[in-house]
Amino acid sequence: MNRPGIRGQLTAWYSLILALSLAAFCTVAYFAMVYSIRETVRSELTERSEGVRGVLGAHALRGRTVLGHELGEFCVGLGPTDRVRVTDSEGIVFASEGMEQPIESRRGFSQQPRPWRAWINGQPFLAQRQMVTVEGTPYDVTMAVATGNLDRTLTRGSVLLFATAPVFLALAALGGYWMSRRALDPVDHMTQAARSIGAHDLAQRLNVPPTRDELARLAETLNEMLARLESAFHRITQFTADASHELRTPVAVMRTSAEIALRKPRSEDEYRETLSQILRETDNVSRLIENLLALARADSGPAQLDMGRVDLGAILVDACEKSRLLADEKGVAISRNGAAGPVWVDANATSVERLFLIVLDNAVKYTPPGGKIDVKLKTGGGFAVAEIRDSGIGIAAEDMPHIFDRFYRADRARSREPGGTGLGLAIGQWIAQAHGGEIRAESEAGKGSMFAVQMPLSPSSAQ
């Protein structure tokens, strides 16, 4: 069974809460009305009883005849729905207005009686019977007020109250459904707009309602998500296109070399030269694939590297020694200025060394012969910072925001460098971030570059 939509659920819950509220209200209103009517009748009975008590107190000693006459005068002033009966202890009736026979009370006969419902000549009354003592003589005073009209009024009121409640509930439910439908119309519009957005049309955005409420925040959040998806999809598309382009060239070179070598018989030296060329291109492809796999692992989620407490200064020394061979061949000097003692960090030594080799390799490549590279390691603020500064060709200002993008090479001079794929700095940035650090660059065209690798110190070292 399908669950009803949000509109139906909201309407059902709204109707249920309203029904319970109406039931509670009608019940309280009914009993309040009953209580109010009965209290009114009780107050009338008390008032009549006090009047009889006053007549008895004023005329009881003047004789039975005078007392009967005064009580008769008192009864004349009562309403047509009132009943009075006054007798003494001997049973002599002094007044009997509409109550020829005494009525018995189920609550007894006392000085402070409570009213009870009684039937006189087939009509409902609220009666009260009490004993009034005047100058030592007890009098039996019974008062009654007809409640037929009040009962009928109460019945009509309760019928009206409980009969109109379902009608009001139905109207309120319809109004609640209309309100929920109107409130959720923007959700329908967002749903339709989201369905129209495909992989090739991620630039579309949802309309944000001008209400500045929860729905507006939902639309803004979905637009932000679409922006992130568009950016990620664009990066994936660009990454795929760049990877295909980078792989196409070495594969084409290897295929062309093999085809030329097979067109006619060659000498041993020619075959050896062809195989050497294919081997060089194979190495390039292997490095490219290795870099692509590293970036794919970075994109798959947080890096899971085997961390350990290592000396960052020692790793930097090893990286400088490995880069010195290429630097000496090109005529570039590498100078190193390390910290006074070990610089302990929690890191994966292999990955960090690869990061330093990437930066040093770029510095050697883009520094002309006779240039120099200064390497400095320092600590402060709970971090270790390795600065690698070269006197190379530098980076133009418009290229600086993109140097860590994948397959990005800043200028033609850099793109002509053999073996470059534009992935090195992207991998270096991933390695730095995987260690909780960062890599940043400062450069100016024609004045060299400075790359700084910052990593948090091991807790014991930081203390």
Which CATH number is 390's domain given?
3.30.565.10
Q: Best-predicted range by mean pLDDT among 304-308, 406-410, 413-417?
A: 304-308
- Arithmetic mean of pLDDT over the chain: 79
pLDDT of residue 413: 44
pLDDT of residue 450: 94
Dump pLDDT digits (tens) for 26-85: 888 888 888 887 888 888 777 777 787 777 777 776 777 777 777 777 776 666 667 777
3-class DSSP state for residue 63? coil
In this structure, the answer to whether residues 50 and 126 fall within a common structural domain is yes
pLDDT of residue 415: 44
Please choose, from the candidates 135, 132, 64, 124, the residue with its C-alpha nearest in 3D space to the C-alpha of residue 95: 64
**Which residue has better confidence, 235 or 356?**
356
In this structure, the answer to whether residues 312 and 269 fall within a common structural domain is no
The tokens for 437 are 């650090």
Answer yes or no: is pLDDT of 159 > 70: yes
In this structure, the answer to whether residues 291 and 351 fall within a common structural domain is no
In this structure, the answer to whether residues 296 and 314 fall within a common structural domain is no
Dump pLDDT digits (tens) for 337-348: 877 688 899 998
pLDDT of residue 412: 45
Q: CA-to-CA distance for 112 and 128, rounded, in angstroms?
A: 10
**Which residue has better confidence, 299 or 268?**
268
In this structure, the answer to whether residues 285 and 246 fall within a common structural domain is yes
Please choose, from the candidates 368, 370, 367, 347, the residue with its C-alpha nearest in 3D space to the C-alpha of residue 359: 367
In this structure, the answer to whether residues 122 and 67 fall within a common structural domain is yes
Q: Is residue 264 part of a domain?
A: yes
Domain of 436 in residue numbering reads as 308-462
Provide the CATH number for the domain around residue 287: 1.10.287.130
Q: Is residue 15 part of a domain?
A: yes
In this structure, the answer to whether residues 322 and 437 fall within a common structural domain is yes
pLDDT of residue 385: 93
pLDDT of residue 98: 67
Instruction: Point out the domain boundary residue: 300, 319, 341.
Output: 300
pLDDT of residue 356: 92
Q: How many CB atoms lie within 10 A of CB 187?
A: 15
pLDDT of residue 414: 43
The tokens for 340 are 């006074």
Q: Is residue 135 part of a domain?
A: yes
Q: CA-to-CA distance for 32 and 28, rounded, in angstroms?
A: 6
Answer whether 398's CB lies under 8 Å from 436's CB: no
Q: For residue 460, what are the contacts with CB-CB under 8 A and spacing of at least 6?
A: 344
Q: Is residue 97 part of a domain?
A: yes
Q: Is residue 209 part of a domain?
A: no
pLDDT level of residue 416 (50, 70, 90 thresholds): very low
Predicted model pTM = 0.51
Instruction: Point out the domain boundary residue: 262, 278, 300.
Output: 300
pLDDT of residue 302: 58
Q: Is residue 202 part of a domain?
A: no
pLDDT level of residue 298 (50, 70, 90 thresholds): low
pLDDT level of residue 113 (50, 70, 90 thresholds): low
In this structure, the answer to whether residues 296 and 312 fall within a common structural domain is no
pLDDT level of residue 196 (50, 70, 90 thresholds): confident
Instruction: Point out the domain boundary residue: 280, 300, 320.
Output: 300
**Can you tell me the mean pLDDT for 214-233?**
81
Answer whether 351's CB lies under 8 Å from 305's CB: yes
Number of structural domains in the chain: 3
